[in-house]
Chain A
Amino acid sequence: MTQLTSRVLEREAFDSLIDALAARGYAVIAPTVRDGAIVYDEIATSAQLPIGLTDEQDGGRYRLVAREDDALFGYNVGPQSWKRFQLPASRRLWRGALDANGNVSEIVEDRDEPGRYAFLGVRSCELRAMGILDRVLLGATRPDPTERSVRANVFVVAVQCGQAGGTCFCVSMETGPTAQDGFDLALTEVLEEGRHYFVVQAGSNDGAELLAELPTEPARPAELEAATTAHERAAAQMGRELDITDIRDLLYRNYDHPRWDEVAERCLTCGNCTMVCPTCFCTTVEDVTDLAGTHVERHQRWDSCFTIDYSHIAGGAVRSSPRSRYRQWMTHKLATWIDQFGSSGCVGCGRCITWCPVGIDITEEARAIRASEEEPVASA
């Protein structure tokens, strides 16, 4: 981090950032605490952030526990991601009239104005996930004229992680923990003896303009060093690892690996992983009519490849076994996504591990398959 572009904002002045965003007409969405988890919601002051909390995450385990300090961002990611702002969980596409002869007419398309949002507290893995989702949604063969890049519409205040979570593996996926670009502002929180401040970097013209309005001081070398130490600490604490060397071809070679049978014995096909994953984008389209049969609406809502209906064609579901559905999800995320969209679909946020009710761990599954290839061939 260079001295030129970094400023320091004291904790007491943090609300000036929120106020400046609100003054620009942004609804500030940030981490908050609800029902024992950290979820993204609109805030007006820093008091609404999960102050002094951290999360303990492991396979199938999530707990918020108190910290010994009052850090504003001393945790990692919760069950929600920012994807619902790019891809609503449920939305109506259009509505129309239906007559007794089955004619659909007077179709009125729903054109929601995109909200004016500032995302406060976006982690590096989440930033990368937004970019991945943009590539999928905006790369459709017939782009929706109303869809625009989230990046183009949202003011992003990234938070550089100062610690890693129990299921994090962004280092393996090369998506963090320190964001290099894609943000308007990036904050690194530093808590020292008697001091609590943020090292702030601008990543865009909008970010620089806003930063100029805040009561900040130029960052001193010791402060920059403290920020760097925080970044390195996060990188060193990763709870999980995933070797992505040749991962696509590794999985392509192993579609009949017995490991899929093994994980199928544990997987409930509940689809939690797809709901919490920041890049899972599958949706289903439903046409619904009212009871009177005079109106019809087309809805789009999140779907999961774990459902039995997902792969239904005349004759039945292509993927009827849980084994094939878990395999579909994991090979899509780590392998076929690369061929479909030019990058991995996984950002190493670990949510799928944390929120799996039986603690299935994508990094462990990948390791098991890779390890079996490296085992010496047993003699007869």
Chain B
Amino acid sequence: MQALDELIAHVPTFAGLTGEQRKLIAGCGQNEHVAAGSMLFSEGEPANTFYLVRRGLVALEVHAPGRGPLRIETLEAGEVIGWSWLFEPYRWQLDARALEPCDVIAFDAACLRGKTEEDHELGYQLMARFAANLVDRLQATRFQLLDVYGNTEVPA
């Protein structure tokens, strides 16, 4: 089985990191399998773990009374789920559910937060990558909000 640090080398989010940095990150991670339908995390829980999807499809959802779970976005192989572990109060704001059987790498957030405290260069590199990720997803979310396919009416 491939070592974790080699696995994450091919993930866009971790591209360009040094071998040493990848080892540090991999040291906080472990492979996990998630059954279809299982929750990876739920709204309100402490954000102690974040995930990299290696195989499968994960949905970000929010549940509304009477409307059931509303699917906000789906994430698949190569994509990182979760940023709430980076910022206080370290609490998840959405549900994440596996739509299919998934192989993920689960990273211990506390472990990684500790390492970035010691190694600010590693911290900076991770922040820069997550920031780029956030920008992409924010842009896509804004586009999604526009509801461009809707039967638009001119606001009065």
A-side residues, CB < 8 A to B, are: 314-317, 320
Contact = CB atoms under 8 A, between A and B. Distances in A.
Task: Kindly state the interface size class of chain B when it binds its partner.
Answer: under 10
> Counting chain B CB atoms within 10 Å of each CB, which of A314, A315, A320 scores highest?
A315
Interface string B142-156: 000000000111100
Nearest to A315: B152
Interface string B126-156: 0000000000000000000000000111100
A315 B151 CA distance: 7
A320 to B, nearest CB: 8
Contacts of B153: 315-316
Interface of B: 151-154
Nearest to B151: A314
Nearest to A312: B154
Contacts of A316: 152-154
A308 to B, nearest CB: 10
Nearest to A314: B152
B156 to A, nearest CB: 11
A320 B155 CA distance: 12
Given A315-B154, A316-B153, 8 more contacts: A314-B151, A314-B152, A315-B152, A315-B153, A316-B152, A316-B154, A317-B154, A320-B154
Contacts of A315: 152-154
B76 to A, nearest CB: 32
Nearest to A316: B154
A164 B153 CA distance: 50
Contacts of A320: 154
Contacts of B154: 315-317, 320
The 5 closest A-B pairs by CB, nearest first: A316-B154, A315-B152, A315-B154, A316-B152, A314-B152
Contacts of B151: 314
Contacts of A314: 151-152
Nearest to B152: A315
A317 B152 CA distance: 12
B77 to A, nearest CB: 37
A54 B153 CA distance: 52
A316 B151 CA distance: 11
Contacts of B152: 314-316
Contacts of A317: 154
B151 to A, nearest CB: 8
A358 to B, nearest CB: 27
10 contacts: A314-B151, A314-B152, A315-B152, A315-B153, A315-B154, A316-B152, A316-B153, A316-B154, A317-B154, A320-B154
B150 to A, nearest CB: 9
Nearest to A320: B154
A330 B152 CA distance: 30
A314 B153 CA distance: 8
A302 B152 CA distance: 29
